[in-house]
Chain A
Amino acid sequence: MNPIETQALTKRFGELTAIEDISLTIKQGELFGFIGPNGAGKTTTLQMLSGQMPPTSGTAKVLGIDVASDPIAVKAAIGIVPEIEYPPSFLTVEEYLHFVSSVRGLPENGNVDRWIEFFGLEEKRETMCMSLSKGQKKKVTLSAALLHEPRMLFMDEPFLDLDPLIQRKFKAWLLDFVKGGGTVFLSTHILELAEKLCTRVGIIDKGRLVAVGSLDELRKTKGEDLEQIFVRLVSA
């Protein structure tokens, strides 16, 4: 069973077809990069696959669970890092993570300390989320997604607003995670990052998947980098 399998996945908003006929398979242990221009449908695809938004037609299974029929089970099994998320303003960092733990049915204080320490939030433990910087909020969001140690992660621009030290640390963690059998669906604009980290990439443009493969498979000429591949495929 592959962690992600979709067949003709489509999303329409009224007259607008945001995502059209996406068929995709992602294997266990892959760090899959999902790239595309603004408004191409990256976030919509990620939201459908992670059970946040029902597809209009087609099917998608994540960890063997149908996202349309049981989105809550999907969310329980995976970790989601949205591009922008505001944790409740008047809860402290620690309280919010306890809240997420409770919702996920984890033992009291299960992994909270571990992730607070990992992201260097010890001093912000008792700070209300409204007083956090963007980067600190992102760290809280990442911690919340990792608390239950999921085997599959959906991340939308997870490195945005993080300081270089934490970026480096988290990149290393991600590589270990996939090496250990975890799977990542990473939506990003940062092509250098996708090029360095991802085992395969999918390029989406105007709601259609225009290419999927490893960098080698996508290269037309020797030495072509991801940016050149992206420009060639999307401009075409």
Chain B
Amino acid sequence: MLDVKILKLMFKEEFRLHASFFNRSFFPFSSLAIILFTFIMGASLPMLRRVVAIDDMLVVAQWILLFYGLGVGGFAMFADRILERRFGSVSLLLTSSYTLPIRFIRLFFLFYIKDTLYYIFFTILPMILGLALASLFVPISISSLLFLFISLTLSFLLGISFSVLLFAALARLRAAGLVIAAAIGLYIGSSGFDVKVFAVQLPSLVFYHSHSFYIVPGVLITSLVLGVISSRFIKEVPSPHERRAKESFMKIVGLTSRLSSKYSPMLSKDIIDLVRSGIIFPVILTFLTPLLFLYAVTWFVESVMLLDVSFSVLFYAAMVGFLGTMLYSWLSNVDISECYNSLPLSMPHVIRTKLILFLFFTCFVAVPYLVIVGYLKGEMDLLLISLFIMLTVSAYVGSVLAYLTGLFTNSYLLDAKILLQFTLAVVPVLLAETLLSFYYQFNSELATLYIAGLGPILVAASMVFLNRLDRRWKGRMFRIA
């Protein structure tokens, strides 16, 4: 009974935490957006079927949920540090074992169950609801929706349980854990592992196609066992120990002041904060995961579905600029900014610092990504143009986002008016760059000319947005959104 009570309270806690990160009144918007999206997808199924086979769509959907589970598990393992950096001091039910007679392992296991149920309820269920609504207009059977719900849940469970195990093991084993993970990766890579075969052999997919119900308890038990193993890896909450570090701020100021003496103090503070809190990993992963996923999807479309769509490195460069949105959102939102109120710092100054960091991290992740994609696709000759696209689109998207949402990206992007403004400012640019990336195959000279022409326009537009930052954000108080 106690476990059920704790689970209920943890569920409430999670909901309120999410609401505090986003805008409370627009918080349910995310679930509604999922319902709307899957409704549109479901309603357009008869048209989509002509282009893509249902089975291929299913494979993509299952892998999306698996990756989603991996991401959720990864974030859960960083939750304490994210909250510490955002709010300064947060007490979660998970840490009740500090003062109450309850084992941390038990709390951790309940936390894991709560996370799983929470995301099933707020993500997978809305997906199915959207499709169920669409079934009123197009032929989708209710039984197939039931099987889809179960199979998507299984994919998510596999993702979250493996991710939690991986991060828990890495936290305990540290360097040894990384070596083991790398060794396993190398072994799989060198053992003739066939990705194409593996992609369609997910237990959840097998369940969907075969309706073999024995798979369900199999996955559930696996997920629970992995949860138990993970909780064993997690140390009992230690007594709060003092964390110390040698002075690094002035050294980093020495480096960053070469870049900009004006923004150097804020940049240095943020760099130390990101590295020491470990939040740098989820920040980079938030950006890297969709990039890898994008590559996986395009690879699937080209190599498995054998559709004649050539995604060149130019296409990826345009997408990188857009996906950086999440990176800016992280950098702006996960910072305890209230202490800036007592300093001679203006909000536009802090926003510009976040933009510099955003461009730095974008380049840090995107340049190697584009080099690798260019190499894999044999398009190294397009690398320079793709870097140009990536930089100009990133600068533009970042500036629009910073202008519209400032330091409150998560909550402001859930404001319908701001979301519309952002969409109107960004989508046409993305569309143009995407079309140009495809047009390049047909007329490379003209496409290069257009790309070269669009770049300065984007830079000029970015400057306009940056110059208007002061007008929009000057005099605003630093606060939790």
Taking Cβ atoms with an 8 Å cutoff, the residues of A that contact B are 47, 50, 52-54, 71-73, 75-76, 80-82, 85-92, 94-95, 98-100, 102-104, 108-109, 126-128, 130-131, 141, 144-145
Contact = CB atoms under 8 A, between A and B. Distances in A.
Interface in B276-308: 276-277
Given A89-B273, A91-B272, A141-B342, 7 more contacts: A52-B477, A82-B342, A98-B247, A99-B249, A103-B265, A104-B344, A126-B244
B277 A104 contact: no
Nearest to B87: A86
B272 A86 contact: no
Contacts of B91: none
A100 B264 CA distance: 12
B469 to A, nearest CB: 15
Interface in B314-368: 336, 338-339, 341-346
B335 to A, nearest CB: 8
A130 B343 contact: no
B248 interface: yes
Given A86-B89, A89-B88, A102-B265, A71 B475 contact: yes
Given A85-B342, A98-B247, A128 B336 contact: no
B262 to A, nearest CB: 10
Contact of B341 (A52, A73, A89, A104): A52
A88 B342 contact: no
A128 B477 CA distance: 26
Given A54-B475, A86-B339, A89-B84, A103 B344 contact: yes
A149 to B, nearest CB: 15
A54 to B, nearest CB: 5
B84 A91 contact: no
B433 to A, nearest CB: 37
B87 to A, nearest CB: 8
Given A82-B342, A131-B240, A102 B264 contact: yes
Given A82-B342, A85-B338, A131-B242, A99 B269 contact: yes
B245 interface: yes
A98 B346 contact: no
Given A89-B88, A95-B249, A52 B342 contact: yes
A88 B269 contact: yes
Contact of A90 (B89, B242, B277): B277
B268 interface: yes
Contacts of B336: 86, 88-89
A72 B84 contact: no
A158 to B, nearest CB: 12
B114 interface: no
A90 B343 contact: no
Interface string B254-274: 000000000011101100110
A102 B257 CA distance: 11
- Those 6 A-B pairs whose CB atoms lie nearest each other, nearest first: A86-B88, A102-B265, A80-B342, A90-B276, A76-B344, A95-B249
Contact of A130 (B243, B264, B475): B243
20 contacts: A54-B475, A75-B345, A80-B342, A82-B341, A82-B342, A86-B87, A86-B336, A88-B85, A88-B273, A91-B273, A94-B249, A98-B249, A98-B253, A99-B265, A103-B265, A104-B344, A126-B245, A126-B246, A130-B88, A145-B342
B452 interface: no
A34 to B, nearest CB: 17
A88 B339 contact: yes
B250 interface: yes
A89 B85 contact: yes
A54 B347 CA distance: 14
A95 B248 CA distance: 7
A214 to B, nearest CB: 29
Contacts of A131: 240-244
Contacts of B244: 92, 126-128, 131
Interface in B88-128: 88-89
A144 B339 CA distance: 10
A90 B85 contact: yes
B342 A128 contact: no
Contacts of B269: 88, 91, 95, 99
Contacts of B475: 54, 71
Contacts of A53: 477
A151 to B, nearest CB: 15
A168 B242 CA distance: 27
Contacts of A144: 342-343
